[in-house]
A and B are shown apart, each in its own frame.
Chain A
Amino acid sequence: AQSVTQPDIHITVSEGASLELRCNYSYGATPYLFWYVQSPGQGLQLLLKYFSGDTLVQGIKGFEAEFKRSQSSFNLRKPSVHWSDAAEYFCAVGAPGGGADGLTFGKGTHLIIQP
């Protein structure tokens, strides 16, 4: 079965600084990979996804993520954060070959933006 690890429970970044949120996965092959953002009391919004091809994927709100097969990682980045980026971020994997249905999520990283 697949699993996802987000090593950082909380991250604090100054407004305007760059951001990188870490995600590592465990799966027997290349999974489908996703990043979601959640504001308090709200549902999850899809930021970006990776299925195959170019390992650097662009998403909404200026986010990008890079798939690194050798490191089993799919880290999320943003060159300059805004106060509105403060939220909970979840990395998720899906199994292209079937097996378990639904996405498997990490436990999330809480992003705090300092003025």
Chain B
Amino acid sequence: SQTIHQWPATLVQPVGSPLSLECTVEGTSNPNLYWYRQAAGRGLQLLFYSVGIGQISSEVPQNLSASRPQDRQFILSSKKLLLSDSGFYLCAWSPRRNTEAFFGQGTRLTVV
């Protein structure tokens, strides 16, 4: 069966520091991969998606970037964090475009 791993679970980082969140999927190949951010009372905002290695599409211009160095690995990064980057970050994968997504457990990022 397929599983998705996301880490770390919580992270406290100072303003201006770099960020790297990692997500890996097991048990499937060539998944569609997504990074979402969740703010309280605002649902989920799609940040990036990827349909293949090295293929990244950004939905929202921001201080963040994403990379997909391997088929089942998706990384969310920032060179310099802002206070506004605080939130709950969720990685997800889906077997086909725009179909059901399966989520990791999320990372709670607090920028101080």
How many angstroms between the C-alpha atoms of A86 and B46 in the bound complex? 25
Q: How far is the CA of A106 from the CA of B43 in the complex (A)?
A: 6
Q: How many residues on chain A are close to B (CB under 8 Å)? A: 26
Q: Is the CB of A107 within 8 A of B100?
A: no
Chain B 38-67, CB-CB to A under 8 Å as 1, else 0, gives 000111101001010000010100000000
Q: Is the CB of B101 within 8 A of A103?
A: yes
Q: A32-88: which residues lie under 8 A (CB-CB) from chain B?
A: 32, 34, 36, 41-46, 49, 51
Is B104 in the interface zone, CB < 8 Å from A?
Answer: yes
B76, CB-defined interface residue at 8 Å? no
B31 touches A (CB below 8 Å): no
Q: B98 contacts which of A36, A44, A103, A108 (Cβ < 8 Å)?
A: A103
Judge whether A102 and B100 touch: CB under 8 Å: no
Are B57 and A101 interface neighbours, CB within 8 A? yes
User: Which residue of chain B has the shortest Cβ distance to A42 in the bound complex?
Assistant: B105
B41 touches A44 (CB 8 A): no
Question: A98 and B103: CB pair below 8 A?
Answer: no
Q: Is the CB of B32 within 8 A of A42?
A: no
Grouping DSSP codes into helix (H, G, I), strand (E, B) and loop, the A interface class, with mixed when no group exceeds half, is loop
**B interface, how many residues as a size bin?**
20 to 34
**Residues of the B chain whose Cβ atoms lie less than 8 Å from the Cβ of A45:** 103
Residue A23 at the chain B interface, CB threshold 8 Å: no
Q: Is B102 an interface residue (CB 8 A)?
A: yes
Q: Please tell me if the beta carbons of A41 and B97 are within 8 angstroms of each other in the complex.
A: no
Q: Could you mark each residue 91-112 of chain B with 1 if its beta carbon is under 8 Å from any beta carbon of chain A, else 0?
A: 0100001111111111010000
A-B contact pairs, 27 of them (CB 8 A): A32-B98, A32-B99, A36-B103, A41-B106, A41-B108, A42-B106, A43-B103, A43-B105, A44-B101, A45-B103, A46-B102, A49-B99, A90-B43, A101-B32, A101-B46, A101-B49, A101-B51, A102-B36, A102-B46, A102-B101, A103-B46, A103-B98, A105-B44, A107-B41, A107-B42, A108-B41, A108-B43
Known: A102-B36, A102-B98, A106-B43. 10 other contacts (CB 8 A): A32-B99, A41-B106, A41-B108, A42-B106, A43-B103, A43-B105, A51-B99, A90-B43, A90-B44, A98-B97
